[in-house]
Structures are given as C-alpha cells and as structure tokens.
Structure 1
Amino acid sequence: MRRVVFNQKGGVGKSTITCNLAAIGAHQGLRTLVVDLDPQGNSTQYLLGADGADQDVTLADFFDQTLNFKLNPKATEEFIVASPFEGLHVMPSHPQLEELQGKLESRYKIYKLRDALDELSGDYDCVWIDTPPALNFYTRSALIAANACLIPFDCDDFSRRALYALLENVEEIKADHNRDLAVEGIVVNQFQPRATLPRKVVEELVAEGLPVLEPYLSASVKIKESHEQARPMIHLDSRHKLSQEFIDLHDTLARRYGA
C-alpha cells in the first residue's frame, strides 16, 4: 500500500502524521518506507535525526539521475537508508530538490517515482510519501505513484476553504494519470474538543459527507518534544494519549484499506 500525505497548506502536520503512522506500522512488524519529497526535509530530520542532513545519497540524487543517462545507474534501493527504528527506512530529502524541479517538469519525469516504487513493490509492506505544501512536480509525482491520499486538516476556516480545491486537484490527477488513486480520508490534526470553532468545522465536514477519519489527533506539546528528540511518539511515549490516537488511526486505516 502506498499512501501520500498531502495538503497545499503548510503547517498542517503532514510530516508529523507521515512519520508517526509509518513508525507505528514498522513497530507492528510491517516493512515500511518513508519517501520525503519536501525539500525542507522535515520527515528526514524527524526519522534520521542529526544524520538526516549528512546522507551520501538522497532523492535529489535519484531525480538527478533521471535527467542524465548513465550506463550503470544506481538501483532504487541504493537511495534508501535505514532509520534507527527497526523495519523503518527512508528515502531522504535534500534542499537541491527545489533546484531540480523545473528541469524535471520540463522533461516530463512525472512517472519516475512511480516506476521506482514499482521496483520496490516486493520489498515493503507499506510506503508513506511526504509532500511539499504545494501542488507542484513532486506532489503530482506522489499522487501518481500512490494508491491512496490522506489529507491533514487543522480545523480552521482557511484550511476548510482550501480543502475543496485540494479535493478537486486530487480528482483531476486521478482522472488524468492514476485511476486507482483514492482519497482515503481527512485526518483532523491538533484538535481541541473544548473549543467551539474546531468542533463546529469538523461537524460540518462530516455532515457534508466528506471522509473524515477518526480518531481525531489531539493538540499536544508532547509532539514538539518528539520532533526535538527525533523519536516518533510510539518510541517516545507509547502510553501518551496522542500516541494511542495515532495507533488507533493507523489500525483503522489498516482494517479498512490494508497495510
């Protein structure tokens, strides 16, 4: 199963959701890969810590290779590194991804990620793809390569307005490039149940029939500690309320749609 976590709005928790759900899958024994397509590299730093910025090979090298024909190109698995967590591997990001984007788009390399992940189909039970906060070459590549899309939502009116356009963009990618792509659900993040506006916005989304997933992910300062220590919640404090919400969400997805 390949899932892309995507929202055109920044700061909604894409990397946090990607890494924590991936870490839970690996902790449960699934062979898991995280693909970090965001040049900011938040997922890379979260899972690899201080070593994240010092990788010999990254996704920038992978995409650069697609632009330059080589007699002996590196295999896809050579762009993957092991995280400190058993069963969890990463295709690391690099700031150079930003510079490569124009060349990749002009030379129509939009299917290269899908082809690369097809090569790895027997190696991993699940692949999680983190994306930049924009509908660009990398997010389109991810949506073309994925089976399902998760949309983080942080309960404000700006996010709600952007959500409808985002759903239309995903449907367009599905119609033009990837008929198997499905919106798996909307992940409510940083939810404050006692606050009136977040509760009202989420209730309205549910009433509209949008695929809002449960449980909702609580707002918690613990997640900042998790980021700082480069340890997903399952490894930092598995009994914490937010850890249990991530576990429940992961298991809900696994029951409904497979690993």
Structure 2
Amino acid sequence: MRTRVVFNQKGGVGKSSITVNLAALSAHQGFKTLVIDLDPQANSSQYLLGDDATYNADKPALEPNIENFFEDVLANQSSKGLIGQAIGNLLKNKNKGLEAYIHQSPFPSLDVLPASPSLGALEHSLESKHKIYKLRDAIQHLAGTYDRIYIDTPPAFNFFTLSALIAADRVLIPFDCDVFSKRALKTLIENIMETQDDHNDRLEIEGIVVNQFQAQAKLPREVVQQLRDEQLPVLNAMLPPSVLMKESHHKNMPLIYLNTDHKLTQAYQSLFNEIENK
C-alpha cells in the first residue's frame, strides 16, 4: 500500500484537483484507492460525492466523516478514565477502524473518507492529548483493503497536516508557478524534512507538481528552471490550464471519466505514470 499526501501551505494551488484526479486514475488502473479529505473546505469530498458531501447553513456535513473518526479517538481516551463505563462499549469503540467512516464513490474501486467543516474545533483537544499518531495507526490497518491512499490536506501546517505526513510514505507538492509560491517552498520543504526527522523516517518528497503551466509564457518557464537549478525535485509531467477542470468540478466527474483524450487528462496520465514508476 502506498500513501500519498498532497500538501502545500498556500491555498489555490490545485491540491484537491490533483488529489482526486490522481486517485481516480489509480482506481481506473485497477488499484483499490481511498481519498481521505482533511481539508474543512471539503473540496475533494464534494468533487467525488457531489451534493451528498455539500453542506450549508441548512444542510449538515455528510456523516460519518473524518471529524467523527477523531471524535471517537477522543471518546476512547475519555472512556478509559470512566470506571463505570461498560466494557462492551469500550471495546466496540476501540475496535472501530477507519473503514467505519468511509463512503463509496460513484466510480469503481474509489472510496472517500469525507471532510467536515467543523474539524478544526477538535484540533486543540487532539494536540493536548497527543493524538498525532492515531491517523497513521488507523491507516496501517487498511493495508489489506487498499492499494493506494491519497490524502488532501488543509492549506496550513497544523495538527491534521502533520498527522497526514506522519501517516504517509510520499508527499506531492502542488506548485502554480507563482513567485509567492516559490518563496514559500523553502519553509514548506523544511516542515516536511523536520517531520521526516522527528516522526516518520519513511517519508519522502515524491516531487513538485507544476500546475497551471503555460508552456508558451516566459515567466513560468523561468520559474520552473530556477527550481531545477536549485536541485528541487520538479516532476517532468506538468499540468496545463484548461476550462475542462471547471467542467469536471461542476459535473463531479474526474477527468479520466469526463474526457479521456483531452490534453489535460493526458497530462494527468503522464503525471500518474511518472510517480508510479519512481
């Protein structure tokens, strides 16, 4: 089983689009694949599950979800201190794995553990009770069920992102050829390397995914060349801009199912082949 985190502390760089479309290609290739959505915006969840995962003031978040998993993690801790707690209930909670929170998507071999808009409210309690390894432990129990896991993260280096990095084997860094994104890369990579040193020596940066790359424009070419000159792991396959992505979001349909032959779909296929063959 390979577990990949798609992570950038800067928002708007295509994290959810990259997560979902690589996961969809993985499933399309025959790998049993799971998307875990840790971003409270729930873009990956909504991309794959549509209206079911869309929430607003009148419609609550789809349950069960990742917040319910972390709530149960905290509940298990509380239960241990209650002398009068029924042993059967305690064992039931302790044995509840991630599979209890997962939903099937409409696409074969592709499942989703959806996000929740109120996930952030649990962060302090989870940190104070040192639950940073719980996601890793739960994911390890899925090894016989899934071949590939993709984790979408919030645009911040927080408890949930760190939990994902601790659980993962590989990190993909979306990059949109913006000067501000380039300046933020150093801090981002330092955070990943620190996580590797302190928590997860298996973790490696699989590569920088250049998104919205305009090959005919001078500035994007210069920025990418600067990254390569600095020996940063820029992947060869780059993703061009296209209105097809907006259509894909609108129809809740990954590119491989929407238009197999489109240049953007083919670019994602090249990216998928490159990371799978590394």
Q: Which residue of 1 aligns with 2:14?
A: 13
Please state how far the C-alpha of 1:102 moved relative to its aligned partner: 1.4
Pair 1:255-2:256 in alignment: no
Q: Which residue of 2 aligns with 1:106?
A: 128
The C-alpha deviation readout for 1:181-216, integer Å capped at 9, x for no partner, is: 000000000001111111100011112111100211
Structure 2 counterpart of 1:181, from 175, 183, 203: 203
The C-alpha deviation readout for 1:149-183, integer Å capped at 9, x for no partner, is: 00000001100000011001100000000001000
Whole-angstrom distance in 2 between the partners of 1:229 and 1:44: 13
Aligned residue type for 1:45: Q
Q: Which residue of 2 aligns with 1:124?
A: 146
Matching of residues 1-259 of structure 1 within 5 Å:
1-53=2-54, 55-69=62-76, 71=90, 72-73=92-93, 74-256=96-278
Number of residues of Structure 1 aligned to a counterpart in Structure 2: 256
Aligned residue type for 1:209: Q
Whole-angstrom distance in 1 between the partners of 2:135 and 2:36: 10
TM-score by length of 1: 0.97
Counterpart secondary structure, 2:4 = strand
Q: Find the structure with the greater CA-based Rg.
A: 2
Backbone CA RMSD of aligned residues = 0.9
Aligned residue type for 2:45: T
Please state how far the C-alpha of 1:55 moved relative to its aligned partner: 2.6
- Return 5+ residue gaps in structure 2 as ranges: 55-60, 77-88
Whole-angstrom distance in 1 between the partners of 2:75 and 2:63: 18
- Return 5+ residue gaps in structure 1 as ranges: none
Aligned residue type for 1:20: N
Counterpart secondary structure, 1:85 = coil
Counterpart secondary structure, 1:234 = helix
Please state how far the C-alpha of 1:98 moved relative to its aligned partner: 1.4
TM-score by length of 2: 0.91
Whole-angstrom distance in 1 between the partners of 2:271 and 2:136: 26
Counterpart secondary structure, 1:201 = helix
Whole-angstrom distance in 2 between the partners of 1:235 and 1:101: 36
Whole-angstrom distance in 1 between the partners of 2:37 and 2:97: 18
The C-alpha deviation readout for 1:212-239, integer Å capped at 9, x for no partner, is: 0021100111101101111011011111
Structure 1: 4+ residue segments shifted above 3 A: none
Counterpart secondary structure, 1:38 = coil
Please state how far the C-alpha of 1:107 moved relative to its aligned partner: 1.2
Aligned residue type for 1:118: Q
Whole-angstrom distance in 2 between the partners of 1:91 and 1:185: 25
